[in-house]
Chain A
């Protein structure tokens, strides 16, 4: 029951008017919605320097600074450091994680935990920016996020859909950075709302929608003829593309209401859980980089109440996501990353909280990574990196490597400054199976 099936008929009515009244025809339609450029799936990846191990990345960002000790790097021997948190065994021999993540524990044989992450600042904004871009924030330039690099180098996975989607509400997300706007993420605040403005307003029938288009096109025909500039043409095209998108089957990718109720429940009926479910749908439909963000990890106060609560949300969604991907045979081609801007202090502060700390942990599941392993170590009191320190650029380079991005290819910003993906970080290639 597409409300627009009849548009063609109406168009003909209007084309008649345009020709008779103004002596010009209507503008032709173009090919693609978000990129203006055609790509077959996988085409355009000729610039890859190595064989990619992952087609997609689902990037789960724990905003606020996730306590590494209460999640991926527990120190069961050290009560002073651990406070009320205990460790549990997982599906991987020798890999223990916190008791707050029991569902995820069942998938640790797919996971590589990096316990030796180190960042260069313990302030939220710069650390968040660093994790997303591998560069420090500068007020003279904005650097692209990984999804934007992927889109720039390899084009969109599905030309009908945006190349990169961000589910969350961080207004400072670096997005496309200095790259063209089309490489930036489509921002989704509410995963249950679907794409904005793809349906006519209530009461606007097919007929009325068509009439409006006819009026617009009729009034613009002469104008477009007189001002046949690049941008006027682009506007005419964007309207045609928008109408085609409204009719597109691919829109279903954004509609999580098509998922069975029990699965929706399994992911957790919160924004993060539903965002993870949306991420899976998008990946299935060819969106190759999806970030889902979960906030409030800044547990300066009452860490031992806040962290378990947050972990419940994370664990429910992550456990469901990994199971879902595995069942659908997508875990091999999809890397699920869990990361944060930094970790938290081993010292428990005067408010039973933990403060910012530049040492932390990240986890990668699937997408060609070796499963069931830990990489790097912190000291027994969790206060420093003991071995195999991994910087943020190395970590991002590893994701880029998995996607087959040319890590050493120099790209110039519009201000002619040279940049590479992950700022010359070296990928941890030995972590791949």
Chain B
């Protein structure tokens, strides 16, 4: 009984989520992969690499599945866990954890070029990122995920997936080139302007494919009542042109928060370019949608083009759809694809192990595109548990004697640092997620409200705003006079003050817009509007309702819920730190409360992180181009590691690493804790010698452990995955 209990508790430490992922049994399939690899090794007269020990396996499994190194507790628990199935169980636990969502979000955000600030207003972008997160969280089958993306239309309140088309708004030809590259692993962008020089695709074929999706338009949400109001203003002969302009502008201002929140499917015909030069078509010929390979798609007048396109694209019968994702995920686990590059397939592409590739495709289909099941199959192979191969030369086939040795991705480096600083490394970025949630709700309410506010009321509001604008313009004349005087006297202070007054008047105007449209909505006979206004006021005054709906949401960190588990964790940490007085305890609690704002997993920070952030320095993709991350060394990276203020926070007394070092009493235990924390293993004797010698040489230094920690972090050993 006692042993059983102990085992359970160890298993639950491993990822903080003991749910496990029962799922389908993939044992036989994993064995079959190893058998197929062994066959090819025999043919090539090579052997598999040696099997690795638990330490290397543990670190590799964490980085591969959840994208970070294991915590000290997780490492200790695994290394002391006495179970013959512990590796399999670890994989299951990792796949079931939040860490999986974070790590694979980074992967897909990079493939899909998903950006927090991708389009003018961020509502759609943020909801798009959440769509990706949610799809991974619920382990949505890959084919469904892909279909939802390429068949998305409507508002961002209907589905975050519209971000897929919004991302490329105004660039439908680039969009289809990206779609074909991402989901079919085929490069057709050359054929956008001429027949492909290195592949068989013609410009005509490119246009035929584009004809499915070129009508997807990213646009701004405007209501029916707005269209009615615009029409009334246009036709009203009593209004002069300036008033009409001002009123139209007022309406635009009211709808501004709903910019870029709608994707619609138009009906325009796609034509060949005016300079088309091939015999298979004439310039400006209308192009009929037609697929580039596989089962032909027939469209009728009633067909929904993108639905039909999505079905064709993601069908198991599509000759490339399954291959590409099977190979992509293989590469994610093993560091190289069976086909390379993964997204530049041609008819002459050959997999390094064709039987294995075929097997993987069949498995993917049999698993109904369940990505976790597929990954579980790969992670339970013996191949994954072999020593890594140092380098694979580009252009030479690799037979997977083991995974490929590689540098961590930027996200893995950052997330591993988060693991050393934060006691809850996988916690969500509450502040950011909460703000998004509120923003989205407000925008949705605003759309609903403006939709229901009758056109005459909208007109009344826009008339009032127009009047305020006219007033503001008169103020501009006065300001300009003052500015002339200030400039004549070269009075910089006065000139700055004028700028401040100008900014103030802009703020006042924004308030006027929300006030006038609020008053219009209030006059509406529609009861739903009154209910919506009351709801949006959020307990504050009714006047605040519209301001809330139009403005950026404010979130107070004090509102963050703290559950009992978190609180007892914090209490335990206070004990370790020797925090006793209430004031210090409060400040430690506040520190833990706000830690996620800086020390969140990369997937919970803006995508991509802002320029200059640690993540960007280490090569995080700018998410402008598909899979645009890089793992190259640079001088700024070295400078960041040696002198950066972010890195130095690892040695702050409140970092998890510092607390763990504090808990270890004897010097040798401290050295062990440091090695287990950073490298997931104990030091070798020679390594211990280095530390002991340094401790002896600098015996009087109070900062010696800080120096040891940052010295040990600033290594290639830390950055690379064995």
Contact = CB atoms under 8 A, between A and B. Distances in A.
Contacts of A258: none
A211 B705 CA distance: 11
A223 B716 contact: yes
Given A215-B712, A302-B476, A231 B638 contact: no
Interface string A154-188: 00000000000000000100000000010000010
A2 interface: no
B716 A211 contact: no
Interface stretch (B23-31, B323-331, B628-636): B628-636
Given A305-B476, A305-B483, A216 B633 contact: no
Interface stretch (B90-98, B349-357, B688-696): B688-696
A189 interface: yes
B427 interface: no
Contact of A199 (B178, B476, B625, B643): B643
A197 B719 CA distance: 19
A302 B716 CA distance: 55
Contact of A141 (B175, B625, B630): B625
Interface string B704-722: 1001101110111101101
Interface in B404-457: 405, 407
A198 B638 CA distance: 10
B711 A215 contact: yes
Interface stretch (B2-10, B73-81, B494-502, B513-521): B494-502
Contacts of B686: 21-22, 222
Interface stretch (B57-65, B166-174, B268-276): B166-174
A306 B549 CA distance: 29
A142 B625 contact: yes
Interface string A238-260: 11011101100000000000000
Contacts, number: 198
B645 interface: yes
B480 interface: yes
A139 B174 contact: yes
Interface in B625-653: 625-626, 630-645, 648
B391 to A, nearest CB: 5
A34 B639 CA distance: 12
A9 interface: no
Contacts of A197: 636, 639-640, 642-644
Interface in A376-433: 415-417
A138 B719 contact: no
B687 interface: yes
Given A181-B632, A224-B716, A189 B476 contact: no
Interface string A189-214: 10000001111110110001101111
B313 interface: no
A44 B591 CA distance: 54
Interface string A4-23: 00000000010001000110
Contact of A231 (B476, B610, B633): B633
A219 B687 contact: yes
Interface stretch (A282-290, A321-329, A337-345, A348-356): A348-356
A200 B643 contact: yes
Contacts of B636: 196-197
B171 A139 contact: yes
Contacts of B640: 196-197
B396 interface: no
Contacts of A350: 242, 245-246, 249, 469, 473
Name, among A33, A140, A242, A349, the residue most crowded by chain B CB atoms within 10 Å (CB to CB). A140
Contact of B710 (A140, A212, A302): A212
Interface of A: 13, 17, 21-22, 33-34, 84, 137-142, 171, 181, 187, 189, 196-201, 203-204, 208-209, 211-216, 218-220, 222-224, 227-232, 234-239, 241-243, 245-246, 301-302, 304-306, 308-309, 312, 349-352, 415-417
Given A197-B640, A203-B703, 17 more contacts: A21-B690, A137-B171, A138-B174, A140-B626, A200-B642, A215-B690, A220-B716, A223-B720, A231-B720, A239-B641, A243-B642, A302-B502, A304-B476, A305-B502, A350-B249, A351-B469, A415-B187
